[in-house]
Chain A
Amino acid sequence: MPDFLLAYQSLFAFIGINGLLALSVYCTLCCGQLSLANAGFMAIGAYAGAILTQNFHAPFGLAILAGTILPAVFAVPLGLPVLRLRGVFLAIATIGFGEVVRLAFVNWDYTNGALGLVAIPQKTGLWTIWLALAFALYVLGRIRGSRPGYALEAIREDEPAARTMGIATTRYKVSMFALGAALAGLAGVLEAHLTFMVAPNGYGFSRAVDMLVYAVVGGTTAFYGPVIGAAFLTLLPELLRGGGQALGLAPGPLRLFLNGAILLAVILFVPNGLASLPAAMQIFRPRRPPRSAALR
């Protein structure tokens, strides 16, 4: 492995994991829904995977599978009643869900309560993370432009009108909510086996907001936007660490402040996110718009 990669290995790993989390938020945002449950789903995935490898010595592949599927299983009964309603109810229900998941793990003795699990076997390699990210990108990229992909865009643009086209909007929204839960769970398993530990407070509300910031800052009109946002915001604190110290700001508040300020600036001034900037500024003007792109 080149020195460069070695030196920044953990940074690259976290870009990948944060990229997955950003995509998990994208799954609901791309049909116009705001979910704040994905930190909870991530926790479910992380704990499920960690319990399997640590207590049952299950193979890592099985842990990944369980940690991906279990959150989706939770997502369906949570999403089904709520996604029939107006969008704001999903935000409310998922804020509640995230908090309840965290509290459940805090109160669960089997997983050491608030302390969480430690000494989880390290099984996640850099390549595992990036393979998972590539897979997620492929799936979401192929949904774009497909029959369900068009349905999702119609739902985002005008849900009642989409229903009059014969699109079963609730079913689509629940499917994407579950897919987002699965991706968040996958990221959870991978992170647990990278950092050797899981603890309830790692999956609180601020984690949910972090993911949302990645996705919105990157932009959700293109499926790869969230990953760009995740990479940008994972690198940013590293770049700004010196500056913050010089100003006498603690790194925690500084990171939080930047998250909020960047999120606000993007939603106000670049509503389609950073990924839309090149097109907006026409840096890469295509000679002739390709047919598939023009369809969008």
Chain B
Amino acid sequence: MQQAINGIFLGSIYALFAVGYTLVFGVLDILNLAHQAVFMLCAFAALTLVGQWGMHIALALPLAAALGGILGLVLERIAFRPLRGRSDSNISGLISSLAAATIFEAIALQLFGPDVSRFPFGSFPDRPLHLGHATVSALQLTIVAISVALMAILTALLRATPLGRRIRAVAENPRAARILGVDVDRIIAWSFFISSALGGAAGVLFGLAFNSVSPDVGRSIELKGLAVIILGGMGSVTGAVIAGFAIGILEVFTVARIGSSYRDAVSFAVLFLILLVRPRGLLGQAATREA
């Protein structure tokens, strides 16, 4: 029970992070490898706002997420838009996003140093709650609530708003969407904004949850995010949400049964297994290239 709760808690952050990956992949068919760097920079931003400026976390979280969104727009502008229409854009997009990630990491390293930074003590009121035999902290509960709420908002936005419909149209078929009068470039920019804002929010929540942020914090979540989108099916938001919780829970149980040194091996095992048996994941489209 305790482990299931911890798993859901961890999974909610993984899912929130991976939803951003999968959204951009769905729209652009390109994996944004700088997503983890946005995650990391936003965690640092929240930490600076709270720690140095004494801001309340409830204000710092949306501000950091907004910063993430802006970083997403910058990313789209400098690393993706110039490559659009190039015949090798899927591979050059991977490379340019990697370049952007490296630049972001260099900036974090210069500004914050290589060591782990922490939120000041008591920046979030935290007290344990008891659920039967299990203990949940108010912090954990809040984090799960916020990420579930954000994912619900995203789902509603995609399903029921004009912007959401346009995003889905572009994801389905950019050429047809353009013919139907959708401003594809704008929709792609919006997708980056939303994706990176969610990734940034995940970064802040992750920083709060483990109270440790360092320039390489994105690395470990990247692997999990990739495992999540592979399991969920590339481009499927619902799949990413389900897979995020699944991998979170799986990881917690593995650590409890086998040992913490295998924490990250879980993601790779899942990832490779899915590629072996069902590359399209739970809810994705075909994974082999046809015609």
Contact = CB atoms under 8 A, between A and B. Distances in A.
A contacts B: CB pair < 8 Å: yes
Interface of A: 29, 32-34, 81-82, 84-89, 91-93, 95-97, 99-100, 103, 106-107, 159-160, 204-205, 209, 212-213, 216, 249-250, 252-254, 256-257, 259-261, 263-264, 267-268, 271
B267 A91 contact: no
B287 A268 contact: no
A-B interface, 7 closest residue pairs, ranked by CB to CB distance from nearest: A260-B102, A257-B106, A260-B103, A256-B106, A264-B99, A263-B99, A253-B110
B139 interface: no
Contacts of B265: 100, 103
B290 A160 contact: yes
Nearest to A29: B91
Given A81-B275, A92-B226, A209-B102, A257 B110 contact: yes
A254 B92 CA distance: 24
B78 interface: yes
B95 A92 contact: no
B31 A91 contact: yes
Interface in B88-107: 88, 90-92, 94-96, 98-107
Contacts of A88: 25, 30-31, 90, 94, 234
B288 interface: yes
A263 to B, nearest CB: 4
Contact of B99 (A106, A253, A254, A267): A267
A89 B287 contact: yes
A268 B265 CA distance: 35
Interface residues of B, number: 51
A81 to B, nearest CB: 5
B249 interface: no
Contacts of A106: 261
A85 B103 contact: no
A97 B271 CA distance: 10
A159 B288 CA distance: 11
A286 to B, nearest CB: 27
Interface of B: 25, 30-31, 33, 78-79, 82-83, 86, 88, 90-92, 94-96, 98-107, 109-110, 114, 219, 222-223, 226-227, 230, 234, 261, 264-265, 267-268, 271-272, 275-276, 279, 287-291
A254 B109 CA distance: 9
Nearest to B78: A264
Nearest to B105: A256
Nearest to B226: A92
Interface centre among A205, A261, A264, A268 (most CB of B within 10 A): A264
Contacts of B98: 209, 212, 263
A260 B100 CA distance: 6
A257 B102 CA distance: 7
Contacts of B91: 29, 32-34, 87
Contacts of A253: 106-107, 109-110
A42 to B, nearest CB: 18
B268 A97 contact: yes
A95 B271 CA distance: 11
Contacts of A205: 219
Nearest to A261: B103
A95 B222 contact: yes
Contacts of B33: 91
B208 to A, nearest CB: 24
A43 to B, nearest CB: 15
B158 to A, nearest CB: 22
B106 A260 contact: yes
A33 B223 CA distance: 19
A88 B79 CA distance: 17
A257 B222 contact: no
Given A267-B92, A271-B86, A271-B92, A96 B288 contact: no
Interface centre among B91, B102, B219 (most CB of A within 10 A): B102
B243 to A, nearest CB: 14
A259 B96 contact: no
A96 B219 contact: no
A96 B88 contact: no
Nearest to B280: A85
Contacts of B223: 95-96, 99
Given A32-B88, A256-B106, A260-B100, 19 more contacts: A34-B95, A81-B275, A85-B287, A87-B90, A88-B94, A89-B230, A89-B287, A93-B272, A100-B268, A159-B289, A160-B291, A256-B109, A260-B104, A261-B99, A261-B103, A263-B99, A264-B100, A264-B103, A271-B88
A93 B271 CA distance: 7
A246 B271 CA distance: 46
Contacts of B30: 88
